[in-house]
Chains A and B, each alone.
Chain A
Amino acid sequence: MNTGVIVFPGSNCDRDVAVALARAAGRPPVMVWHKETALPPLDLIVVPGGFSFGDYLRAGAIAAHSPVIRAVKDRAATGVPVLGICNGFQVLTECGLLPGVLMRNRDLRFICRDVDLRVDNAAWRFTAGYREGQVVRMPIAHNEGNYFADDATLDRLEGEGQVLFRYCTAEGVVNDAGNPNGSQRNIAGIINASRTVLGMMPHPERVADPDLGGTDGIAFFAGLMTALQ
Chain B
Amino acid sequence: MIKARVHVGLKAGVLDPAGKAVEHSLHALGFAGVRGVRTAKSFELVLEETDAVKARAAVEAMCQQLLANTVIETYRIDLEG
Which A residues lie at the B interface, using CB under 8 A?
Answer: 57-58, 61, 65, 93-94, 99-101, 103-108, 148-150, 182
B65 neighbours in A (Cβ, 8 Å) = 65
Q: Interface 1/0s, chain B 39-81, versus A by CB < 8 A?
A: 0000000000000000000000000011101011000000000
Are the CB atoms of B17 and A58 closer together than 8 Å? Answer: no
B72 neighbours in A (Cβ, 8 Å) = 101, 103, 148
Are the CB atoms of B66 and A65 closer together than 8 Å? Answer: yes
Which B residues lie at the A interface, using CB under 8 A?
Answer: 14-15, 17-18, 21, 65-67, 69, 71-72
Taking CB as reference atom, which chain B residue is nearest A60? B69
Are the CB atoms of B66 and A148 closer together than 8 Å? Answer: no
What are 9 A-B pairs with beta-carbon distances under 8 A?
A: A57-B66, A65-B65, A103-B15, A106-B15, A108-B18, A148-B71, A148-B72, A150-B71, A182-B17
Are the CB atoms of B17 and A61 closer together than 8 Å? Answer: no
Q: What 3 pairs across the A-B complex have the smallest Cβ distances?
A: A101-B71, A108-B17, A101-B72
Partner of A100, one of B15, B18, B21, B71: B71
Are the CB atoms of A108 and B69 closer together than 8 Å? Answer: no
Name the distance in Å between A42's Cβ and chain B's nearest Cβ: 27
Q: How far is the CA of A104 from the CA of B69 in the complex (A)?
A: 13
Name the distance in Å between B68's Cβ and chain A's nearest Cβ: 9
Q: How far is the CA of A58 from the CA of B43 in the complex (A)?
A: 14
Q: How far is the CA of A100 from the CA of B72 in the complex (A)?
A: 9
Are the CB atoms of A101 and B18 closer together than 8 Å? Answer: no
Q: How far is the CA of A107 from the CA of B15 in the complex (A)?
A: 11
B71 neighbours in A (Cβ, 8 Å) = 93, 99-101, 148-150
B67 neighbours in A (Cβ, 8 Å) = 57
Taking CB as reference atom, which chain A residue is nearest B14? A148
Name the distance in Å between A59's Cβ and chain B's nearest Cβ: 10
B21 neighbours in A (Cβ, 8 Å) = 108
B17 neighbours in A (Cβ, 8 Å) = 104-108, 182
Are the CB atoms of B69 and A58 closer together than 8 Å? Answer: yes
Q: How far is the CA of A149 from the CA of B17 in the complex (A)?
A: 17
Are the CB atoms of A104 and B66 closer together than 8 Å? Answer: no
Q: How far is the CA of A58 from the CA of B68 in the complex (A)?
A: 9
A150 neighbours in B (Cβ, 8 Å) = 71
Q: How far is the CA of A104 from the CA of B66 in the complex (A)?
A: 18
Name the distance in Å between A2's Cβ and chain B's nearest Cβ: 32
Q: How far is the CA of A65 from the CA of B66 in the complex (A)?
A: 8
Are the CB atoms of A61 and B69 closer together than 8 Å? Answer: yes
